[in-house]
Amino acid sequence: MSLSALTGCIGDSASTTKPGSESVKDANPKVSTGSYKEAPMWDSLVKNGTLPAVDKRLPEKDDIMIEQTVEKIGKYGGDWRLPWSGPDDKWGIGMITEEAMFRFKPDGSGVEPNVAKGYEVNADSTVYKIFLRKGMKWSDGHVFNADDVIFYWEHMLVKETFGKALYDCYYSVDPVTGEKARAEVTKLDDYTVQVKFKHPSVMFLERMAIDNKWFFAPAHYYKTILPEFIGEEKALEVAKQYGFKDTKTLGINTGYYYWLYSQRPTLRPWVPKNDPNSDRFISERNPYYFKTDKEGQQLPYIDRIVQTKIQDKSHKLVEALAGNVEVSSFDFADFTVLKENEKKGNYRVIPWSTPSWSSTGVELNQTTEDPKLRALFQDIRFREALSVAVDRKEVSEIITNGIGEPAQASVPKGLPNFQEGWDKQWTAFDRDKSAKLFDEIGLKWDAAHKYRTFADGSDLSMVIYQEKIADNEKFIELLRKYYEQVGIKTDVKIVDQGSFFDLKYANKIPVSVKTVNLVNVAYRPDELVPLRVITPWFGHYGLYTSSKGKEGVKPEGDVAELLANWDKIKAAKTKDEINKWSNEIIKLHQKNQWVIGYTSPTPVLVVAKNNVRNVPKLVNSDEFRGLGHAHPAQFFIE
């Protein structure tokens, strides 16, 4: 599927005003045969009474979710081999097994029920009723119902049990005063939950599908581990059994990264069976999974996901080339070698388009700790100087084989809020202009006329941080070459993913090779609006917002305007208003160019063995959960 096809749908959706109340009570097609089948691996357990029959494990007949297959009805069996770097790469397994309350449609035009059976929303978007599937069960066989949603809301979300502030999607904004009001979440019956807002929340379902996909938790499990229920002393004993030093860490890991822990029941198609720190981390099919294909075969088709720990990212590529990976995604940097070895490795390369603003980009932390460096990064002339200091044609050829054209980081054509001509801003290679801008700022030369210094003669150097799992060494070296040619001393530090995360939260990353990757700012503002600590360019502006001013750096000027416009989006009564204020956010980014890009986006590569079927061609984005957007439960091995 092309990006233009996807974004056309999103653009249409964003400009449509809701005429009245909306109801999607039952979006499920029905099983064509009226009977159900299960994987052979469960046969003996059912026969000896260890496991109930499949029709007893599924939801009630009318509430079973029928997953559409991409190519054809599949067959059971096999392992999905998947190299990974260990528990630090939590999202590697997290995204492909995720089951959200509402998920994005394949074309990205909106959301559809998933764990939820359906919904109703009133005309002014202040009251949402979410309908659940009767008879649905957790992976341990316990009933899943509205109590699990209410428990999650009262004991985990509101109380921040897993270390996250209450998500933005649960607040509405007064369109006059800008005051935020928290939603009320109540149980109407065992299978109906109501979310009531004080003010209109037009994009609630889309926002929840991004902010808080799992709007539920197994109450029966958490009542056995949380201090609130068993006391601090017993909870600490549980934490240590899990390998954690305190109950807070227990709450964060089992509450937020729960898919790594076999003790915690889930609704996902595969459930973990052993310690994620093992050399091989194995997830096995969920016997109580709530989906079937249209012929009544309980999903997933594939028996197990077997993740083998690798020491280096390059090993993943080696395994794929050898044909030892069923399905995985790769960066575009691996395009040539993957294509050259398709026949030998018995796989196919499926390019997925992306909504990235750039394929090569850099972000300067606007709140970096060093006050002199912070002032420099906040000077738009410095950002322009770094932009024109780089020969984008060379970057295009060396890094993207010419496929990523010379361009500025900007909204790609076809996406909502595209700005004509933005991709050409500050793109002409011009060292003289760079030097002139540095002179205007007041940067001096050192005695050897090799590096620029601050106006007071003190040393000026930038440190670019890179995650070890990223594959940007060649690009960073190019950046270092170009930056140093115009006198900006540049160093590089490569850190593991966990350390990068910690450094980012501690505001210790001055420069990083990152770019924006989002479909629609109204869907996911996190990379463009400083709501929390997530994107390096705005650093601790995000901490200021998430801590309600108790910590971080207070946003001012155009950064504060970003937040004001986001509040207007949240207070909007129609999607036309949302589109208007989204456009204003994008224009502020065009004006300031906080994120600098050097080449246009390149595709993400999905590699699938030739005997693995039902793997579609889609758009890769974090909003859609990457490869998880392909609905892997319907993948099968021929």
The pair phi, psi for residue 180, each rounded to 5°, is -90, 140
Query: Are 532 and 165 a contacting pair, CB within 8 Å?
Result: yes
Residue 347: predicted pLDDT: 98
Residue 1 has pLDDT above 60, yes or no: no
**DSSP line for 198-239:** SS--TTHHHHHHHH-S-----HHHHTTT-HHHH-HHHHHHHH
- For 188-210, b/e burial (b = at least 16 CB within 10 A) is eeebbbbbebbbbbbbbbbbbbb
Maximal C-alpha separation, the chain = 84
Residue 245 clears pLDDT 90, i.e. is over it: yes
The pLDDT, as a whole number, for residue 173 is 87
Interval 467-488: pLDDT, tens = 876 668 889 999 999 999 999 9
| Euclidean distance between CA atoms 568 and 551, whole angstroms | 24
Tell me the pLDDT tens digit for each residue of 550-608: 999 999 999 999 999 998 988 888 889 999 999 999 999 999 999 999 999 999 999 99
Chain centroid offset of residue 514 CA: 14
Query: pTM of the entire structure?
Result: 0.79
| Distance from C-alpha of 272 to C-alpha of 296, rounded to nearest angstrom | 25
**For residue range 71-110, what is the model confidence (pLDDT) as tens digits?**
999 999 999 999 998 888 889 899 999 999 999 998 887 8
Burial 532-568 (b: 16+ CB within 10 A, else e): bbebbbbbbbbbbbbeeeeebbebeeebeebbebbbb
- State the pLDDT at residue 469: 64
Share above pLDDT 70 across residues of the chain, in percent, rounded to a whole number:
95
516-537, pLDDT tens digit by residue? 988 899 888 889 999 998 888 9
Instruction: State the sign of the Cα–Cα–Cα–Cα dihedral 139, 145, 147, 150.
Output: positive
* Residue 79, strand partner residues: 304
Range with the poorest average pLDDT among 148-157, 464-473, 545-554, 615-624: 464-473
**Could you tell me the domains of the chain?**
31-97+270-354+603-638 (3.40.190.10), 360-599 (3.10.105.10)
All residues at 6 or more sequence positions from 638 whose CB lies less than 8 Å from its CB, including other chains: 75, 611, 612, 613
Confidence at residue 142, expressed as pLDDT on a 0 to 100 scale: 98
Average pLDDT rounded to a whole number, residues 333-347: 94
Mean pLDDT of the chain: 92
Rounded CA separation 539/553 (Å):
9
pLDDT tier for residue 549 given thresholds of 50, 70 and 90? very high
Amino acid found at 352:
W
pLDDT at 143 over 70: yes
| CA–CA separation, 599 and 478 (whole Å) | 13
Q: Which pLDDT belongs to residue 375?
A: 97
- What's the pLDDT band for 27 if we cut at 50, 70, 90? low
Q: Is the pLDDT of residue 15 over 70?
A: no
DSSP 86-144: -TT-HHHHHTTT---SEEE-TTSSSEEESSEEEEEE-TTS-EEEEEEPTT-B-TTSPBP
